[in-house]
Structure 1
């Protein structure tokens, strides 16, 4: 047992894991990686060590390692040890993306994600008037069957898809503006909304872990049905009016969210 882990009491009734052995091995190693016990650049235990630790065959261990390679957590080269991939997990600070960009500056997500030399960009996927999901409709105060302006985009870092963003806007705000045009908005929508007289004042996030949908699976090029982090983000302006509701989806095993609070 690794340092700091908890031993969970077992019984015949609860000692039941439906996953195959290689999936269970991958799960334990994944946790070692994501918690930092196996840091970026570190070698994973050898096949011999893993066989002994998990009482598994060579083939089973290799299947477990392949899962981690497919998930972009580790790198394996012929004749060399399997190592933890550098920058295998991104720490996302939502508060850093909230304020509108300065005049002439790119979308704040691009600016923040490009720090450290990464090549960040966004790809516009869709602009359309749609009936949004129920939780989005409720957040935007829409009547049943009401429509909103959808802007869908894919965010990439070094050409790897990292986040699928689907944003919705009330039609009375978005129609006949750059929000409704099928092109990227310089500085991002927070700056445009402020220019339109709807400055962002409050942002509320609701975060959940979910099994990816087919669309999310394809767009993010996920290797398996590992959970994704889904954020429903609602932005309010003056008078507590909702002006934007976005669904942000990212791979759970490659991202963590960091929120900071101060004591009153």
Structure 2
């Protein structure tokens, strides 16, 4: 089958971006410019631009048109960020990812709630049992990159700093260690899908932009589950890396 015209235009623009002809921050030719340059209909040009936006190569900026994304991807190294020497020394696990870039947390809420059915079995609890839920949105250089919701058994963490928005140096895992429930093992499940409407709004995603879902399970001694953390990441903002011995 011949390649549709909008795909041909997207391929041409993608090559220019990857070759550096259109560097990060550069203005991408507008819909009208593409119509004139390639002799296509406006809808064809619009679809070509939508392809690049869906691939995370471009972003629309109010008042300045569409530009090549200049955000440097976040390198997420699961083994490094979850190592005990990271959170055990009072550093946030986020510091392992950011290479000194500024990170902020907003929309943070912490509350005791009934445990959802999908979480209860993983925590060894009955559905509806009390859990503390930590819900946050993370921004890097002012850009929303991840939503995270942690669930922890109320019987383990009640009265601790984990039940406050700022859990202190080293975060939740350092506080669990102080309570005698230091995580000694983790398991993560990863999958991708299109975002729900509320996720797209919270992460300021363009049309067609996917998300990566990571569910992390943390275990203390004797395999006792101490946390389930559901994370929704803007797929275009991350580069994920796993390193392990042969």
Please say if residues 123 and 153 of structure 2, whose CA atoms lie closer than 8 Å, have aligned partners that are also in contact.
yes
Query: Counterpart in 2 of 1:224?
Result: 207
- Corresponding position: 1:57 with 2:37: no
Deviation at 1:136, TM superposition (A): 2.2
Deviation at 1:120, TM superposition (A): 1.2
**C-alpha distance 227-48 of structure 1, shift in aligned 2 (>3 A):** closer
The answer to which structure has the higher strand fraction is 2
Query: Counterpart in 2 of 1:139?
Result: 122
Deviation at 1:86, TM superposition (A): 3.0
Query: Counterpart in 1 of 2:74?
Result: 90
**C-alpha distance 253-27 of structure 1, shift in aligned 2 (>3 A):** farther
Determine which of 185, 190, 195 is the counterpart of 2:168: 185
Query: Counterpart in 2 of 1:159?
Result: 142
Deviation string 1:13-35 (CA, Å, 9 cap, x unpaired) is: xx9x9xxx75x5687579869xx
Distance 1:102 1:233 in 2: 16
Please say if residues 75 and 98 of structure 2, whose CA atoms lie closer than 8 Å, have aligned partners that are also in contact.
no
Determine which of 232, 236, 243 is the counterpart of 2:226: 243
The answer to which structure has the higher helix fraction is 2
Deviation at 1:87, TM superposition (A): 3.7
Gaps of 5+ in 1: 1-9
Deviation string 1:117-139 (CA, Å, 9 cap, x unpaired) is: 42112235211122344332221
CA-based RMSD: 3.9
Secondary structure of residue in 2 paired with 1:112:
helix
Deviation at 1:75, TM superposition (A): 6.3
**C-alpha distance 255-50 of structure 1, shift in aligned 2 (>3 A):** farther
Please say if residues 38 and 84 of structure 1, whose CA atoms lie closer than 8 Å, have aligned partners that are also in contact.
no
Deviation string 1:18-57 (CA, Å, 9 cap, x unpaired) is: xxx75x5687579869xx94568277997669976xx843
**C-alpha distance 45-163 of structure 1, shift in aligned 2 (>3 A):** closer
For normalisation by structure 1, the TM-score amounts to 0.72
**C-alpha distance 183-252 of structure 1, shift in aligned 2 (>3 A):** same
Matched residues, number: 238
For normalisation by structure 2, the TM-score amounts to 0.77
Query: Counterpart in 2 of 1:108?
Result: 93
